């Protein structure tokens, strides 16, 4: 992959702070991570709906959906997984910079990749809220709504996270949810309470 040269960042006429004041909203990203079938997308969808009904501009970026377009040229090798997360970190930061709440739902199995995403936000001064949708592999495998674990066990899917590829759990996420022990509504309430406590909404 080549690197762009002879380019210059073009500042706009409005600062992030001014945009936030005009829109009466703080931009940030809520980054869901967890195994396939951990409930990431389900809780993320419910959270998006909840925030929108509260009059808060929120938009969900889902791992599978992104691979239909922006990341359709990426597979599931370690390098492709890293590039997948790099791209979505940049895209979600644009949403957050616009004062929207970006809600990302990606397995994002490597701690280093999530740390890189977090650092991108830290450098930009934009809040980054990591949500660990935590379930044991056995529970995720029992759920298996897409039949992926069954295929992975049969050797039909290579490099499947939790079976034949690693998942590195977050060490200190802002929010830790055992999705096998909480309802969807309870999970959304836990996240909402965190956002309110930290004056993000």
Q: Catalytic positions, please?
A: 108
Q: At 170, is the secondary structure helix, strand, or coil?
A: coil
Q: In whole angstroms, what separates CA 140 from the centre of its chain?
A: 18
- The residue length of the chain stands at 201
Please classify residue 160 by burial: count the beta carbons closer than 10 Å to its beta carbon, then call 0-12 exposed, 13-18 middle and 19+ buried. middle
**CA atoms of 34 and 157, how far apart (whole Å):** 18
Q: Which residues of 48-76 are buried (b: 16+ CB within 10 A; e: fewer)?
A: bebbeeeebebebbbbeebbeeebeebeb
């Amino acid at each position: 992959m080549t690197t762009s040269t002879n380019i210059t960042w073009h500042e706009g006429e409005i600062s992030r702070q001014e945009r936030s004041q005009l829109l009466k909203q703080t931009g940030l990203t809520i980054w869901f991570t967890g195994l396939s079938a951990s409930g990431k997308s389900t809780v993320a969808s419910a959270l998006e709906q909840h925030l929108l009904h509260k009059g808060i501009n929120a938009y969900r970026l889902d791992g599978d959906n992104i691979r239909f377009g922006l990341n359709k040229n990426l597979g599931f090798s370690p390098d492709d997984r890293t590039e997948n997360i790099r791209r979505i970190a940049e895209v979600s930061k644009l949403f957050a910079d616009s004062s929207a709440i970006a809600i990302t739902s990606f397995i994002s199995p490597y701690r280093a990749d999530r740390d890189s995403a977090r650092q991108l936000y830290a450098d930009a001064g934009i809040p980054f809220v990591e949500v660990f949708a935590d379930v044991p592999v056995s529970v995720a495998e029992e759920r298996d709504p897409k039949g992926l674990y069954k295929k992975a066990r049969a050797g039909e899917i290579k490099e499947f996270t939790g079976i034949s590829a690693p998942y590195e759990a977050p060490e200190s996420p802002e929010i830790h949810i055992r999705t096998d022990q909480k309802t969807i509504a309870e999970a959304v309430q836990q996240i909402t309470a965190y956002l309110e406590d930290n004056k993000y909404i």
